[in-house]
């Protein structure tokens, strides 16, 4: 019996295991994400139910900002995403960046997140890799001052209030570094690292590399040799933006590979030998949706629709295409988080994977480009 960890390690090494690894995620814990016990139990239930090959810890997307004074109202339902509920931002004027201090990681929201990761690692004892979610420092700053829907605000602050923005970056980067080290001490196998390619586009190559990129690399250097699976999630942006991140010292990349404005799996495989994570469309409503039938647009996801057999056919076509394009260094997933309507179809993804595993065991080569 191949373990989740062994299956993921095989993908890193480019070996064919029983089947490709698989993991799905989304902001699914909006009612539990601010309580250690609730969040831990919800994550364990999620993993035990869907049996993914790694756990992408799914905190609220702005947890880092809480200890800096961000005010976030409680969610009222599962669809009321915590990351959209900011009542007051931590920084409301660029001069306030000079006032922030590294928070105490032994209390508050950061202590909560560290404890959740520790409990998950203690529970699974290394059998299921655990990846805490960490965002780029510039993303945290964006969330602290205006939210990621208004990325132009933080870009403008680095352009017109650079002195103060840089002071803020130093504190945020140091906090992020200490947090990552604390997650490692708690047992984390690696990190799910969120990078906003849209910020790269707004800041430009020179400013991004100087004011954001070098801090990303500093954080990664701090955990070098202490983790074995770091996954860089490249959000928004386009083909050109992705090149900024290809040299980051991570083991895997995830992005919306099925959307036309982004690199396909085949295109990305031509420029990197890292593990490619994707293959399924998590949002057909996004502009540039690339249909598996050759074009057009739609709604929902690859897991949408009333017919379980049609969903399975879609997943199967996507999976076979992805395995040929990416090779064995591949993890089946979506290009970002899945909505709540997709949850009841995760079992169909597993059915497809189990069928593919049987065919691999029987000698079929899914990775060959030959028909």
Residues 6+ apart with CB under 8 A from 88: 69, 70, 71
pLDDT at 83 over 50: yes
Over residues 346-362, the mean pLDDT reads 97
| Mean pLDDT for the chain overall | 93
Q: pLDDT > 90: what percent of the chain?
A: 87
Q: Which of 147-156, 268-277, 347-356 has the lowest mean pLDDT?
A: 147-156
pLDDT band at 153 (very low <50, low <70, confident <90, very high): very high
In tens, the pLDDT along 319-334 reads 999 999 999 999 999 9
Report how far apart, in Å, the C-alpha atoms of 246 and of each of 253, 254, 337 are. Answer: 9, 11, 22
Over residues 138-150, the mean pLDDT reads 94
pLDDT at 298 over 50: no
pLDDT band at 71 (very low <50, low <70, confident <90, very high): very high
| Residue 181 confidence (pLDDT) | 98
pLDDT at 179 over 90: yes
Residues 6+ apart with CB under 8 A from 357: 18, 19
pLDDT at 355 over 70: yes
Give dist(CA 88, CA 3) in Å, integer: 44
Give dist(CA 158, CA 165) in Å, integer: 6
Over residues 289-303, the mean pLDDT reads 57
Over residues 140-144, the mean pLDDT reads 97
pLDDT at 366 over 60: yes
Give dist(CA 277, CA 253) in Å, integer: 6
Over residues 197-201, the mean pLDDT reads 89
Give dist(CA 133, CA 337) in Å, integer: 12
Over residues 112-123, the mean pLDDT reads 98
| Residue 154 confidence (pLDDT) | 96
Q: Which two tokens stand for residue 80?
A: 């009321």
Residues 6+ apart with CB under 8 A from 250: 193, 220, 230, 231, 232, 274
pLDDT band at 287 (very low <50, low <70, confident <90, very high): very low
In tens, the pLDDT along 246-278 reads 999 999 999 999 999 999 999 999 999 999 999
The candidate with the shortest Cα–Cα distance to 50, out of 32, 26, 29, 24, is 24
- Sorted by where each begins, the domain ranges of the chain are 4-361
In tens, the pLDDT along 12-26 reads 999 989 999 999 999
Over residues 142-151, the mean pLDDT reads 92
The candidate with the shortest Cα–Cα distance to 38, out of 121, 132, 115, is 115
What does pTM read for this prediction?
0.95
CATH topology of domain 4-361: TIM Barrel (3.20.20)
pLDDT band at 241 (very low <50, low <70, confident <90, very high): confident
Is the CB of residue 80 less than 8 Å from the CB of residue 30?
Answer: yes
């Amino acid at each position: 019996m191949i373990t989740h960890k062994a299956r993921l390690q095989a993908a890193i090494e480019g070996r064919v295991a029983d089947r490709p690894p698989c993991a799905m995620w989304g902001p699914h814990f909006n009612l539990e994400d601010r309580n250690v016990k609730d969040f831990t139990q919800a994550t364990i239930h999620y993993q035990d139910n869907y049996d993914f090959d790694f756990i992408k810890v799914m905190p609220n997307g702005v947890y880092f900002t809480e200890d800096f004074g961000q005010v976030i109202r409680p969610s009222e339902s599962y669809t009321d995403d915590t990351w959209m509920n900011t009542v007051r931002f931590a920084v409301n004027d660029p001069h306030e960046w000079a006032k922030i201090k590294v928070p105490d990681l032994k209390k508050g929201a950061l202590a909560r997140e560290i404890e959740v990761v520790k409990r998950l690692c203690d529970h699974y004892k290394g059998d299921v890799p655990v990846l805490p979610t960490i965002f780029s420092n510039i993303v945290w700053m964006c969330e602290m001052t205006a939210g990621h829907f208004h990325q132009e605000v933080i870009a403008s602050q680095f352009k017109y209030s650079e002195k103060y923005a840089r002071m803020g970056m130093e504190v945020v980067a140091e906090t992020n570094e200490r947090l990552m080290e604390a997650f490692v001490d708690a047992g984390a196998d690696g990190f799910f690292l969120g990078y906003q390619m849209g910020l790269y586009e707004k800041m430009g190559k020179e400013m991004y590399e100087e004011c954001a990129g070098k801090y990303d690399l500093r954080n990664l250097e701090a955990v070098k040799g202490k983790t074995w699976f770091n996954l860089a999630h490249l959000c928004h942006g386009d083909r050109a933006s992705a090149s900024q991140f290809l040299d980051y010292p991570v083991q895997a990349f995830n992005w919306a590979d099925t959307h036309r404005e982004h690199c396909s799996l085949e295109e990305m495989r031509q420029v990197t030998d890292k593990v490619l994570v994707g293959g399924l469309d998590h949002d057909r409503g996004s502009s540039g949706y690339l249909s598996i039938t050759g074009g057009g647009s739609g709604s929902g996801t690859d897991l949408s629709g009333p017919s379980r057999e049609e969903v399975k056919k879609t997943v199967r076509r996507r999976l076979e295409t992805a395995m040929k394009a990416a090779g064995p260094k591949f993890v089946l997933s979506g290009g970002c988080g899945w909505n709540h309507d997709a949850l009841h179809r995760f079992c169909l993804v597993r059915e497809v994977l189990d069928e593919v595993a049987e065919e691999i065991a029987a000698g079929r080569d899914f990775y060959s480009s030959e028909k």
